[in-house]
Structure 1
Amino acid sequence: MSITERKREIEQEWSSCISNNNNPLCRANFPPNFLFGVATSAYQVEGACNQGGRGPSTWDAFSHTEGKICDGKDADIAVDQYHRYKEDIDLIAKLGFGAYRFSISWSRIYPDGLGTKVNDEGIAHYNNLINSLLEKGIEPYVTLYHWDLPLHLHESLGGWLNESIVKCFAIYAETCFASFGDRVKKWITINEPLQTAINGYCTGVYAPGKNENPSTEPYLAAHYQLLAHAEAVSIYREKFKEQQGGEIGLVVDCEWAEPLSDNIEDKNAAARRLDFQLGWYLDPIFYGDYPESMQERLGDSLPIFSQKNKDLLRNSVDFVGLNHYTSRFVRQGTDKQNEYYRVQEVERIAECEGEAIGPKAASPWLYIVPWGIQKVLNYIAQRYNNPPIYVTENGMDDEDNDVSPLHEMLDDKLRVSYYKGYLTAVAQAVKDGADVRGYFAWSLLDNFEWQYGYTKRFGLIYVDFKNGLTRHLKSSAYWFVRFLKGGEGKSGKEE
């Protein structure tokens, strides 16, 4: 079946599903207690890399290495949220969001990562940030690890390739629970462990930039991230949960894998693709071990859980966080360029013979496919006995443009369309029975977009990188203002 035929078939099914819901998208499509928030990560927005006692991270070293970031820039200043957090919190409140998902910089709490001496200035900074959020009625959702590993842990231990890192992460997590848990009620241990494993230790396009042993090291890095997660959850539940009353989860990322045809080979390929994304992390937590398809294809390259590991991992989430942006058609095939895909025996297809799975955003991997998020949410609900789910990231990017006038950059009609489509799909998943409890737009602000530097803009708020990092609301921000107030939210600027 061609991509054109398959796309038409899926979109007809999607249109039929949506047309059965006669109400246009509005806040009332979601449960009254459904949470809407915005998200960022420390390295992408904070800056102040040498201030407040912060130690260097792997991303500092990586971004300062020539050729690693496409525009040659770094996040030493980023968008300076370290100093401007009150301004940004005021903007979150103005937009009407009820929560802010941000990450704590591990090396701002323990500069060497080892947990030997806590940095009081780092504790004070996050106390100020959390208190300022609560003063505005905004709930903090805190991620402990969003890729910025303390550099010393990489240089002295080998980072996520050494089991000793599990203890280091546990010490760091316990310090955060003790310091902030009286006010923080939603914790995320690790963001997208898949990306650290594959892009950090297989392709090398993310820090720490390793690609020497792509058939073994990604699986070891993933293994120790899972064990670090489980250890942190165990500490929280044993020492803090009863008194503090919070919840703790893990954030996984997944592009939906839709079989290109009804052939059993393509269906099996799509199932394997999902195993190597979601199952890699959620199967050990819900079922005690890695998916069978991974065990069969990886053999001795896949680490083994001890019984103690399994006991610690089992049910070690109060909720699942899902980061989702895009989808692919999948068929049986071989990718000789990438070891991770080769071993899956899958071919991911976004474009073929001039037809694409959906409109294109700025990033080369990001196609706009709203029906995919409904399928991912329903898949998690069905495979893992309907756990509570938060969509912890969802959004799209524009290309940075030095030529277009500011008013054109602010009028982000495609992003408005993106959010309307994806939120419609999330509402439909809730209607289908998935226990989705919240949604976070990525991102609050244009920021440092990893290997793309400042060439891609994901923000609801435009940051003028050349003129004092001033903030300007985009049309998508105004759309959310109206949507969150209960309106349908037509595209365009606020009148």
Structure 2
Amino acid sequence: MGDCDADFSRYSFPSSFVFGTSSSAYQYEGAANKYNRGPSLWDTYTHQYPERIVDLSNGDEAVDFYHRYEEDVKAMSKMNMDAFRFSISWSRVLPRIQPYVTLFHWDTPQALEDKYGGFLDSTIVEDFCDFAELCFQRFGDKVHHWITVNEPWAYSADGYDTGLLAPGKRTPHKPYIVAHNLLLAHAKVAKLYKEKYKGKNGVIGMSMCVYWFVPYGDTEDDKNAADRSLDFMLGWFLEPLTRGDYPKTMRHYVGKRLPEFQPMEKELLKQSLDFLGINYYTAFFAKKSNDLEPKPFGYSSDAHATWTQERIRKDGRIEPISPVKGASSWLYSYPTGIRSLLRYVKEKYNNPTIYITENGIDEPNDPSKPLDEALDDTNLRVTYYKEHLTKLWESIKYDNVDVKGFFAWSLLDNFEWENGYSVRFGLYYVDYENDYRRYPKKSATWFKEFLYRRSCLPPIDGEKLNDNRGTKATSPPSILEDNSHNREKVAPP
């Protein structure tokens, strides 16, 4: 993009393109034991097994979004965000901001987990439909973008194979059962919406966590391993939703342990996806596993592929997949991967409508760091977003991928599952020790300017900039306005 880099802005994207931030109920809300909310799977998990969370924390208070949502929505408006993606807590059943609502973001009601094992039992499909219908009835007039399930891969694989996430089980054959029931739950909820609530003019999708996989070497074995890895992570869910069955590679390697869909279920699945949400963060090298080495039997070894983020070069040097790394062990910045992944999805799955429903990078939570230093994430997060949004723009401009929106993870620092509060993903810093006060980081200021600034690049669709995308670009509001909580020593970024 050459000399226009400094003026790269939302105006570079199609006029209808949506920018927002993402969250989930358990990670944000708090108020876990208030207002008649029942316990969820994650409440039980974090209290029974605190040692499985890096800092022994839980989401009982999270970032107190339940009581501070008006303040946080105001912050989004001042940044000129269009939308906010959040989940409705199944166990708990905004001005100028469009809601993109997730129905299931891993917080299975503990009552259903105790009763029949949650998503290990097909009974949950009807119960999930009942919950979804309640949400459609109550919120359908205001919500027009529904995401049934967030990251079914992580919930299935890390909840039931590696045990990294709740419910923390290590039963390598059961991820396939959980994934099967998640898919059927999605399909039946989509059918319900299209039959009974079509008049609400909404759309139904699913958000999937996907890494990009780079062959470890230039051998056919490693190239095939990268392809299989995509099948076992993305194709596991997207193939049934577009073609009615699991990938052939999974059928070959998993065999009879992979559940079967009935003919009517296949048709239901193929008609269920209006849009695809992609949560992209990073990339891995993939290589063919050494099948002579003994491995545990199950999902983690079924793909016969090893994932790593470092490889040994022929000269013996160790090469990371990227020189830029976040705080999480798995998170390296690899912006090329988002374009490669989007092109792959377009070509293999007939160019579906896509939203990037999560993208971001974290830094360590260092309590000893002065606040002004903690707010300066220019070299890490600002650069990460610049590079990823540039590759996203290229995907739309040059590859003609049908991407409609982008959601940053996340507006606020929050409870990050197994990492607790030990890492920070937010555009806003949350002071956990002082009444959860919010402070904008440099990345929040950068995003605000990005969303208000006009660009020397013409919009992709050639349309004029609409009023709420840039007419106020000459004088964006301070994101520190009306914020009485700011420390006096911190100058506005």
Report the equivalent of 1:11.
none
The offset of 1:47, in angstroms, is: 0.5
Secondary structure class of the residue paired with 2:16:
coil
Report the equivalent of 1:126.
none
Counting only pairs closer than 5 Å after superposition, residues 433-452 of structure 1 correspond to structure 2 as 433-452=400-419
Alignment partner of 1:168 out of 123, 127, 146 = 127
Report the equivalent of 1:48.
31
The offset of 1:20, in angstroms, is: 11
Secondary structure class of the residue paired with 1:96:
coil
Whether 1:392 aligns to 2:357 is yes
**Matched residue type, 1:267:** K
Distance 2:175 2:449 in 1: 43
Whether 1:356 aligns to 2:320 is yes
Secondary structure class of the residue paired with 1:106:
coil
Report the equivalent of 2:302.
343
Deviations 1:387-439 (A, max 9, x none): 11000000000100011100000000210000001000110111111000000
The offset of 1:347, in angstroms, is: 1.8
Distance 2:134 2:10 in 1: 38
Counting only pairs closer than 5 Å after superposition, residues 129-208 of structure 1 correspond to structure 2 as 133=94, 136-208=95-167
**Matched residue type, 1:205:** L
Alignment partner of 1:299 out of 255, 279, 294 = 255
Secondary structure class of the residue paired with 1:64:
helix
TM-score calculated relative to the size of structure 1: 0.88
Report the equivalent of 1:275.
231
Report the equivalent of 1:118.
none
> Given that residues 479 and 494 in structure 1 are in contact (C-alpha distance below 8 angstroms), is that contact kept between their aligned partners in structure 2?
no
Alignment partner of 1:401 out of 358, 363, 366 = 366
Counting only pairs closer than 5 Å after superposition, residues 57-76 of structure 1 correspond to structure 2 as 57-65=40-48, 66-76=50-60
Deviations 1:183-234 (A, max 9, x none): 10100000000011011111111111111x21x2000000000000001000
Deviations 1:161-193 (A, max 9, x none): 100000000000011011100110100000000
> Given that residues 286 and 308 in structure 2 are in contact (C-alpha distance below 8 angstroms), is that contact kept between their aligned partners in structure 1?
yes
Distance 2:267 2:224 in 1: 30
The offset of 1:31, in angstroms, is: 0.7
Report the equivalent of 2:21.
38
Secondary structure class of the residue paired with 1:396:
coil
Structure with bigger RCO (C-alpha 8 Å, 6+ apart) = 2
> Given that residues 475 and 494 in structure 1 are in contact (C-alpha distance below 8 angstroms), is that contact kept between their aligned partners in structure 2?
no
Whether 1:416 aligns to 2:399 is no
Whether 1:27 aligns to 2:10 is yes
Report the equivalent of 1:427.
393
Secondary structure class of the residue paired with 1:445:
coil
Distance 1:459 1:41 in 2: 13
**Matched residue type, 1:326:** T
The number of aligned residues is: 447
Tell me: CA distance 1:24–1:315, structure 2 relative to 1, closer, same or farther (3 Å): farther
Q: In angstroms, what is the RMSD of aligned CA positions?
A: 1.7
Deviations 1:73-107 (A, max 9, x none): 11101111111111111111111100000000000
Report the equivalent of 1:108.
92
- Structure 1 runs of 4+ with >3 Å offset: 18-24, 334-339
> Given that residues 210 and 234 in structure 2 are in contact (C-alpha distance below 8 angstroms), is that contact kept between their aligned partners in structure 1?
yes
Alignment partner of 2:426 out of 448, 452, 459 = 459
Counting only pairs closer than 5 Å after superposition, residues 300-339 of structure 1 correspond to structure 2 as 300-334=256-290, 336=295, 339=298
Which sections of structure 2, spanning at least 5 residues, go unmatched?
312-316, 456-472, 474-490
Report the equivalent of 1:479.
446
The offset of 1:23, in angstroms, is: 8.3
The offset of 1:29, in angstroms, is: 2.0
Tell me: CA distance 1:57–1:328, structure 2 relative to 1, closer, same or farther (3 Å): same
> Given that residues 7 and 453 in structure 2 are in contact (C-alpha distance below 8 angstroms), is that contact kept between their aligned partners in structure 1?
no
Secondary structure class of the residue paired with 1:107:
coil
Secondary structure class of the residue paired with 2:169:
coil
Tell me: CA distance 1:296–1:20, structure 2 relative to 1, closer, same or farther (3 Å): farther
Distance 1:100 1:232 in 2: 22
> Given that residues 478 and 494 in structure 1 are in contact (C-alpha distance below 8 angstroms), is that contact kept between their aligned partners in structure 2?
no
Distance 1:415 1:408 in 2: 13
The offset of 1:21, in angstroms, is: 8.8
Report the equivalent of 2:180.
223
Secondary structure class of the residue paired with 2:92:
helix
> Given that residues 26 and 483 in structure 1 are in contact (C-alpha distance below 8 angstroms), is that contact kept between their aligned partners in structure 2?
yes
Distance 1:405 1:383 in 2: 48
Distance 1:460 1:330 in 2: 32
* Percent of pairs with identical residues: 47
TM-score calculated relative to the size of structure 2: 0.88
Distance 2:5 2:51 in 1: 51
